[in-house]
């Protein structure tokens, strides 16, 4: 199997939900005190380690891409995720987030890094489920440290009707024209934070109420969306 990012032999698996997000939400886990994984075909599968393959994409990437190349992207999301979790926990009605708070002095670069973290996850999602979206621009964005022109992020408060600790991904939902996706979306959810990751060949396809952002946007603020359950 080849790494979809660079083409080298693929030897590592990317976490479905970032390991730091899982630790911050659930703490440590073990065979005695496992996490419980829900899959479409089966629920309540015990997982005794955050490093377990069950918690990773089946589509693999190489060690270099999963460490050196994308490490700044991982670290940027870890910082923003922690900041959002704490801010929303203090005030669930938070509507605007000043990105210069978690990213003082390097807001634009760090927002690009967050964008590229989700580009990586999107690419893993596409390759694992054979979604007919061209993977080349995702690879190029990561390899050149530049934004994917068709990927946008919408951040918001996750409405948790069960009041339980939950983390997960949703399947990719796509709209096609002439056999090719023109719009696709999926959610990354960790605790009280939800991110909708969007692919649109034309930004006008994205609903305005999502407050979706792109690294090319000049604003240094996030307008949070109240996602419905």
CB neighbour list of residue 114: distance below 8 Å, 6 or more residues apart? 73, 76, 77, 80, 153
Count of Cβ atoms closer than 10 Å to residue 45 Cβ: 13
HSE (side-chain half, CA atoms, 13 Å) at 29: 19
* Tens digit of pLDDT at every position of the chain (229 positions): 899 999 999 999 999 999 999 999 888 877 877 777 777 676 777 787 888 888 899 878 999 999 999 999 999 999 999 999 998 888 877 889 999 999 998 999 999 999 999 999 999 999 999 999 999 999 999 999 999 999 999 999 876 645 578 888 999 999 998 888 999 999 999 988 999 999 999 999 998 889 999 999 988 899 998 886 5
Model pLDDT, residue 172: 95
pTM for the whole structure: 0.93
- Residue 37 in domain: no
- Residue 196 in domain: yes
Reduce the DSSP state of residue 86 to 3 states and report it: helix
- Residue 66 in domain: no
Q: Is 191 left (phi over 0), alpha (psi -120 to 50) or beta?
A: left
- Residue 222 in domain: yes
- Residue 85 in domain: yes
**Contact yes or no for 221/97 (Cβ under 8 A):** yes
Structurally, the chain folds into a number of domains equal to 1
- Residue 205 in domain: yes
- Residue 158 in domain: yes
Reduce the DSSP state of residue 6 to 3 states and report it: coil
φ/ψ of residue 123, rounded to 5: -60, -40
- Residue 52 in domain: no
Find the domain containing 176 and state its range.
71-226
């Amino acid at each position: 199997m080849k790494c979809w990012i660079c083409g080298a032999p693929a030897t590592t698996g990317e976490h479905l939900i970032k390991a730091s997000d899982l630790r911050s939400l659930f703490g440590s886990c073990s065979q005695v005190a496992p996490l419980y994984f829900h899959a479409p075909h089966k629920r309540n599968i015990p997982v005794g380690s955050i490093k377990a393959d069950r918690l990773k994409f089946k589509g693999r990437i190489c060690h270099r891409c999963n460490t050196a190349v994308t490490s700044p992207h991982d670290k940027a999301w870890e910082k923003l995720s922690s900041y959002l979790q704490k801010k929303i926990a203090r005030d669930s009605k938070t509507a605007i987030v000043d990105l210069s708070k978690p990213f003082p002095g390097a807001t634009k670069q760090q927002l690009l890094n967050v964008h590229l973290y989700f580009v990586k996850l999107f690419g893993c999602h596409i390759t694992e489920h054979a979604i007919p979206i061209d993977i080349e621009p995702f690879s190029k964005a990561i390899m050149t440290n530049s934004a994917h022109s068709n990927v946008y992020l919408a951040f918001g408060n996750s409405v948790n009707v069960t009041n339980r600790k939950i983390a997960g991904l949703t399947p990719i939902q796509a709209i096609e024209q002439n056999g090719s996706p023109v719009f696709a979306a999926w959610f990354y959810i960790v605790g009280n934070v939800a991110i909708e990751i969007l692919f649109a060949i034309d930004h006008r396809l994205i609903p305005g109420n999502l407050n979706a952002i792109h690294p090319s946007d000049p604003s240094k603020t996030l307008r949070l969306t109240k996602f419905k359950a």
